Amino acid sequence: MNPTTCPPFASRLRAALLASACAAISASAATPGTVPLRDLSWDHERAQELSRVGQQVLEMEGIPWQHADSERFIYHYVHRWMAERAAGEAETFYAAVKRDLKAEEDRWENKAHIFLFESGDAWRAFVEKFGVDRWSGGLCRDNEIFVCSPPKARPFTGIVLPHEIAHLAVHRFVRGRLPVWLGEGFAEQQARRHFTAYTRPKGYRFHFPPTVVEASAYLPLDELASAGSYPSDPAKVAAFYAEATRLVQMLMEDHPDADFLEFLQMMANGTKFETAVERVYGRHYRNLEALEERFREVAITKITAAGNAEGGR
């Protein structure tokens, strides 16, 4: 979730998807690797690196914050093992997102900050204090990530972390603000892709709901791409979220030769969707109608003769 406010239904939908994925975990004794952490002393001068929100978070009562860093991130935590766990994931996810974007150098030299809230009470206090949607499990604000990750989520910090790291990568590699559908679709596609790649070799199996919609709920691409925010009609929010994720999946995973980062930058610059598609994906789709035809094939649920739904991934 980025700082753009999500309606309660959208946030509940995300929470349901995350809960579904976590509930599908299989038992295993495997544990993730860690990366070296360096303890940091914290003073007023170093605190100036943080936003006002970040500074106020470190002043919250009842949280004995500790601080450490790795190659790309500074971690604010209570228990060190949780910082070590998050560091192994964060460095892996960031490198993977960067690789998918074919990005080279960050626009920012400063390390990003990750705040790990280890109790539900601490996270609820954060949500209340800063007006975060109460259904959210994570937030990325510019160069800072705030994540609710109680110890019971062990052995992983959770799928929220790669989702927010994808938002962070956009902030670092793209100038300007993406349309909501593209920012959330990219973050969710990256989270599913890399959380699966990270956990599966360790013996875990997470199952995500397919990113498909029924034909009656399908949002045409021009409606999806022109939306400045989530639909006001709650009945359309689920389709909006599923289609956004599925469209990014199709553009990135079906056409790895195309420059998706260029597509992101064009959209952040305010370029029309049709123009950006023609520029970056013109060799694959002769026009927007051709893209729409292909997208409908993969985004709409198909009912088989046996009565089972097919489609998406």
Answering whether pTM is above 0.75, one says yes
Number of helical (H) and strand (E) elements in the chain, helices listed first: 12, 8
Mean pLDDT is lowest, of 177-186, 204-213, 267-276, for 204-213
What's the pLDDT band for 167 if we cut at 50, 70, 90? very high
Average pLDDT over residues 31-47: 80
Task: Please say if the pLDDT value at position 241 is more than 80.
Answer: yes
Average pLDDT over residues 184-201: 91
What's the pLDDT band for 310 if we cut at 50, 70, 90? low
Task: Please say if the pLDDT value at position 4 is more than 90.
Answer: no
- The pLDDT of residue 154 is 66
Domains observed in the chain:
8-202 (3.40.30.160), 215-299 (no CATH)
Between 170 and 4, the higher pLDDT residue: 170
The 10s digit of each residue's pLDDT in 109-132 is 889 999 999 988 999 999 999 988
Identify each DSSP E strand in 13-135 by its residue range. Answer: 38-39, 66-69, 73-77, 112-117
- The pLDDT of residue 143 is 93
Whether the CB-CB separation of 312 and 211 falls below 8 Å is answered with yes
What's the pLDDT band for 32 if we cut at 50, 70, 90? very low
* Closest by Cα among 4, 8, 17, 3 to 192: 17
The angle at the Cα of 146, spanning 89 to 268, to the nearest 5 degrees, equals 90
The 10s digit of each residue's pLDDT in 250-282 is 999 999 999 999 999 999 999 999 999 999 999
Which residue type occupies 25? I
Average pLDDT over residues 34-43: 87
Q: Identify the DSSP state of 59.
A: T
Q: Identify the DSSP state of 300.
A: B
Whether the CB-CB separation of 140 and 171 falls below 8 Å is answered with yes
* Closest by Cα among 21, 13, 140, 4 to 73: 140
Q: Over the chain, what is the mean pLDDT?
A: 84
